Amino acid sequence: MKNEQRNILVAAAMVATALCASLATVASATGDTSGATVTITLPPDARSFGPGPGQSIAQANCTICHAADYVYMQPPLTADQWRAEVTKMQKVYGAPIDASAVDALVQYLVGQNGKQ
């Protein structure tokens, strides 16, 4: 082996050693050397629609795009306000809600989170 080739090999070995040392430093800095089990707590599953007449209609028409949570996150709404909400879903967001389902939906929504 020529001297030049040997020098390149030595240089490569030095780079590799330096890289290993710095990786070891990263591993110990993140505390990732023990293999210990880490436990994390995920947020609870989204709330689903409560029981009552119309539950399956709401399930079928409202959860295509978002969780039922949206209904329960609102302040209690009147029937007119829920109707406006359903109309908004149709007109603004393009929800494919059949006109014949709207009355049942409004009644159900008032029952779930409504006021007079």
Nearer to ligand HEC, 2 or 91 (CB): 91
Of residues 49, 54, 71, 110, which one binds ligand HEC by CB under 6 A? 71
Residue 102 has a CB neighbour count (10 Å cut-off) of 17
Beta bridge partners of 114: 77
Q: Please say which residue, 35 or 94, places its beta carbon nearer to ligand HEC.
A: 94
- Name the nearest CA neighbour of 104 among 47, 50, 52, 48: 52
In angstroms, the CA 35 to CA 18 distance is 24
Distance CA 37, CA 49 (A): 36
Question: Does 70 sit near ligand HEC (CB under 6 A)?
Answer: yes
Q: At 77, is the secondary structure helix, strand, or coil?
A: strand
Window contacting ligand HEC (CB under 6 A); options: 8-16, 18-26, 39-47, 89-97: 89-97
- Decide if residue 110 touches ligand HEC (CB under 6 A): no
Whether 61 and 85 have beta carbons less than 8 Å apart is answered as: no
Query: In terms of CB distance, is 24 or 65 closer to ligand HEC?
Result: 65
Site membership for ligand HEC, residue 79 (CB under 6 A): no
- Residues making contact with ligand HEC (CB under 6 A): 61-62, 64-66, 70-71, 74, 85-86, 88-89, 93-95, 97, 105, 109
